[in-house]
Amino acid sequence: MIGITKGLMEAWRLISTFDSEIYGIIGLSLIVTLSSTVLSALLAVPLGVLIGSNNFKGKNIIVRTINTLMGLPPVVAGLIVYLLLSRTGPLGYFGLLFSPGAMVIAQVCIVTPIIAGLTMASIRLKIKPVKETCQGMGLSKGKTTRLLLHECRYPIISAVMAGYGRAISEVGAIMLVGGNIQFKTRVMTTAIVLETGKGNYGKALALGIILLVISFAINWLIHSVQEGKSYEGRSVKG
């Protein structure tokens, strides 16, 4: 209990004194996690919709692969990205290893299957009634897709949120490909690991509390957006 109180006080001191290192770590954490989540969503949502709403040869293998990758251990993803980006690797030419770019790439590998898998599952639940209703009304494929996305908007946003949750809490992959370099690639999770290792429990706990608050604030924001949105069609007046 004393440790938690001390941690809270340390967190307040670090935030209120505008500790430049802490703010740098928070800023980089947000940039990396939000970038990787946005990029993953841009890849995964269309992929999930495409797979979930169509039947084709080899679909089962793709679905099972995505489901398997949803549980991909971050260190394994980190290791693969590390090998690809290392100087002797196929993408070593770009010199991305130990940079925020490498951290984003590693997180995209972890988050994309999560968003794609959850999007796919939500689409599969709605596709039959939506498709049959639209076919029955003779609506175009474009309009059917738009209505399908509208019907699945909450689960899709939840899928993106789940992806973001994984990104902000992830430590193994970004530690490997980012290297936890001070003022360059150190983010909240890697800093917590480092400070705990050094015995600075107060600072580690402070970062943990800030991490939780940021996570809560972003979730709150996304929920507000979700609740405020509705079908953007023509209005009907009686």
Q: Which of 74, 72, 39 is nearest to 193 (CA)?
A: 74
**Binding region for another protein (CB under 8 A) out of 1-9, 88-96, 102-110, 138-146:** 138-146
Q: Does 234 bind another protein (CB under 8 A)?
A: yes
What is the token pair recorded at 159? 């899928």
Toward another protein, which CB reaches closer, 11 or 123?
123
Q: Is 1 in the site for another protein (CB under 8 A)?
A: no
- Report the residue from 129, 182, 183, 224 that binds another protein according to the rule CB under 8 A: 129
Beta strand segments in the chain, E: none
**CA 81/CA 97 separation, integer angstroms:** 9
Please tell me whether residue 157 binds another protein under the rule CB under 8 A.
no
- As a residue count, the chain comes to 238
CB of 230 to another protein, least distance (A): 6
Cβ contact 189:169 at 8 Å = yes
Contact 152, 123 (CB under 8 A): yes
Q: Indicate the DSSP class of residue 160.
A: H
Task: Kindly tell me which residue out of 10, 151, 170, 195 binds another protein, with binding defined by CB under 8 A.
Answer: 151
User: What is the C-alpha to C-alpha distance for residues 161 and 154, in angstroms, rounded to an integer?
Assistant: 10
Q: Give the integer Cα–Cα distance in Å for 35 and 37.
A: 5
- Asked whether 222 and 161 are in contact (CB, 8 A), the reply is yes
| Binding range to another protein, per CB under 8 A, among 77-85, 98-106, 142-150, 179-187 | 142-150
226 binds another protein (CB under 8 A): no
As a whole number of angstroms, the distance between CA 182 and CA 123 comes to 43
Q: How far is the CB of 145 from another protein (least distance, A)?
A: 13
149 touches another protein by CB under 8 A: no
Q: Is 54 in the site for another protein (CB under 8 A)?
A: no
Q: Does 195 bind another protein (CB under 8 A)?
A: no
**Rounded to an integer, what distance in angstroms lies between the CA atom of residue 55 and that of residue 57?**
7
Query: Which one of residues 80, 139, 193, 222 is an interface residue with another protein (CB under 8 A)?
Result: 139
> Which of 13, 42, 132, 184 touches another protein by CB under 8 A?
132
| Total interface residues for another protein by CB under 8 A | 21
Binding site for another protein (CB under 8 A): 129-130, 132-133, 135-139, 143, 147, 150-151, 230-231, 233-238
